[in-house]
Amino acid sequence: MSDMQLNTKVVKFGGSSLADASQFRKVKDIITADETRRYVVPSAPGKRHSNDIKITDLLYTSQKLAASGKDFSEPLSMIRSRYLEIAQELGLSFDPTEELDRIAARLKDGATKDFAASRGEYLNGLLLADFLGFPFIDAAEVICFNESGTLMMPETMAKLRDRLKDTPQAVIPGFYGAGPSGEIITFSRGGSDITGSLVARAARAEIYENWTDVSGVLVADPRIVKDAAVINTITYEELRELSYMGATVLHEDAIFPVRAAGIPINIRNTNDPAAPGTMIVAGDSAESDALTGYTITGIAGKKGFCAINIQKAMMNAELGFCRKVLTVLEEMEISFEHMPSGIDTMTIILAEDMIKGREKTVLSRIRKAVEPDSCEIEHGISLLAVVGRGMRRTRGTAARIFAALAHARINVKMIDQGSSELNIIIGLLDGDFEAAVRHIYDMFVNSALKTEENSEN
């Protein structure tokens, strides 16, 4: 690394941050306000308003129509007008017309879904590089996948570091890379977060800033809890728990590259750059001692689960009972989420999609394997996770959670707490999900705010 790359920040901007020319100007202001923001990872243009269509979705539609031999001129025209409008409004020297014509020709010739989807980030990267006056590095030249589409970390790090060592500033589009023969391969949706994480690790950045349209990770889903509080500091482990249970601010796979290098992630708001956002740090770092101000860090959950309830007298004395049940699921390639049990009962929580259309077969095979007294499936289950490192050092957290649910007359179907004491997972009926989130939030966040206000008065 050259001296120029010390104190480097890698900045990734999401689709809403680059949806139109006015957003591009905000992004440029953010980058030029801090000279250490050297490497920029853009997403494709997102929605400008609620009824708009993301560029990536238009590209998928174009490819699907082209692959079927149908006319794809309408979605392609929408794509073309978006990019030309941005270029013209910003007065760029780069004219995207030639690149757009090349993409249209590739689609007509049978381009893959991955190639089509990647062009949103590719074109936005070219526009942003011109607007900033930064060099453009095609992600296909530095992000490496193998034949099966798995990221090749050592090769990617070697190529990125080789390119960055003599390039003190650059725009590197997110979401895609290339396989051994040069074919374009994409990450899963939201994968620009991963690209930013890889660039941050390669650049040995001091921080990875991920700019989006919210001022950080929120304690609860704002669609359920209006004006939900922002989490000021969260650990990688806590974010993994919340992401797995439905929180979607950051792609969960973006954590691993920077976590291994000890690089913190800062979630920021492009539309409110003065807001400090959320810092995501290692659990053993000094920053992790900065608690959120509440006992819990966040609440997240998902609907769409079911429970297989099994009962048999003296189950606990029957060797191999649990193994036999799980063998049935394994043979049917069904994974499960949780398995709470009692002396004569066990419950297996799994996603509805895993068992849909096969309910009778699953029950029949379990009955044949372990001969239970009863075995039935209960549908309409939600899982809710209450996550927080502060729970380890605070007595009575579980009691407060269940007091909040009892006050709301919400019946708990399942309770599961890991040995890390980092989270408590609750199973409840779908119809109680939103109310449960609101009452737990009120118990831990609103009550803390009221106590703070009273102490100030």
- The angle formed by the CA atoms of residues 191, 195 and 199, to the nearest 5 degrees, is 165
Which residue, 206, 221, 252, sits at the end of a domain? 206
164 is a domain residue: yes
279 is a domain residue: no
Residues 25 and 171 in one domain: yes
Residues 200 and 329 in one domain: no
Following CA atoms 440, 444, 450, 456 in sequence, which dihedral angle do they give, to the nearest 10 degrees? -170
Across the range 409-424, mean pLDDT stands at 84
Confidence of residue 240 (pLDDT cuts 50, 70, 90): confident
Could you tell me the CATH number of the domain that includes residue 394?
3.30.2130.10
Which residue, 183, 206, 229, sits at the end of a domain? 206
Residues 323 and 451 in one domain: yes
Which range of residues forms the domain containing residue 336? 298-456
Confidence of residue 111 (pLDDT cuts 50, 70, 90): very high
Which of 263-267, 289-293, 324-328 is predicted least confidently? Answer: 289-293
Confidence of residue 454 (pLDDT cuts 50, 70, 90): low
Residue among 412, 41, 420 nearest 240 (CA): 420
Residue 158 pLDDT > 60, yes or no? yes
Confidence of residue 2 (pLDDT cuts 50, 70, 90): very low
Instruction: Name the more confident of 3 and 234.
Output: 234
The reported pLDDT for the residue numbered 393 is 73
Report the predicted TM-score, pTM, of the whole model to 2 decimal places. 0.86
168 is a domain residue: yes
Residue 368 pLDDT > 90, yes or no? yes
273 is a domain residue: no
Residues 25 and 152 in one domain: yes
Which residue, 206, 233, 256, sits at the end of a domain? 206
Across the range 62-78, mean pLDDT stands at 96
Which of 14-28, 260-274, 384-398 is predicted least confidently? Answer: 384-398
342 is a domain residue: yes
**Could you give the number of structural domains in the chain?**
2
- pLDDT tens string 78-93: 999 999 999 999 999 9
Residue 74 pLDDT > 50, yes or no? yes
Residues 27 and 153 in one domain: yes
Contacts of 354 (CB under 8 A, 6+ apart): 334, 335, 336
How many Å apart are CA 207 and CA 8, to the nearest integer? 7
111 is a domain residue: yes
How many Å apart are CA 66 and CA 46, to the nearest integer? 23
252 is a domain residue: no
Percent of the chain clearing pLDDT 70 (strictly above): 94
How many Å apart are CA 100 and CA 225, to the nearest integer? 42
Residue among 285, 238, 279 nearest 385 (CA): 238
Residues 181 and 307 in one domain: no
Residue 289 pLDDT > 80, yes or no? no
Residues 310 and 171 in one domain: no
**Alpha-carbon distance values, 318 to 97, 344, 349, 439 (Å):** 71, 10, 22, 41
- pLDDT tens string 334-351: 999 989 888 999 999 999
Residue 31: strand, helix, or coil:
helix
- pLDDT tens string 166-214: 999 999 999 999 999 999 999 998 899 999 999 999 999 999 999 999 9
Residues 200 and 349 in one domain: no
Reading the block at residue 43, the tokens are: 């997403």
Confidence of residue 12 (pLDDT cuts 50, 70, 90): very high
- The angle formed by the CA atoms of residues 384, 388 and 389, to the nearest 5 degrees, is 150
The backbone torsions φ and ψ at residue 136, rounded to the nearest 5 degrees and listed phi first, read -105, 130
Mean predicted lDDT score pLDDT of the chain: 92
Across the range 224-230, mean pLDDT stands at 93
Could you tell me the CATH number of the domain that includes residue 48?
3.40.1160.10
276 is a domain residue: no
Residue among 18, 45, 13 nearest 199 (CA): 13
- pLDDT tens string 263-288: 999 999 999 999 999 999 987 655 55
The reported pLDDT for the residue numbered 3 is 41
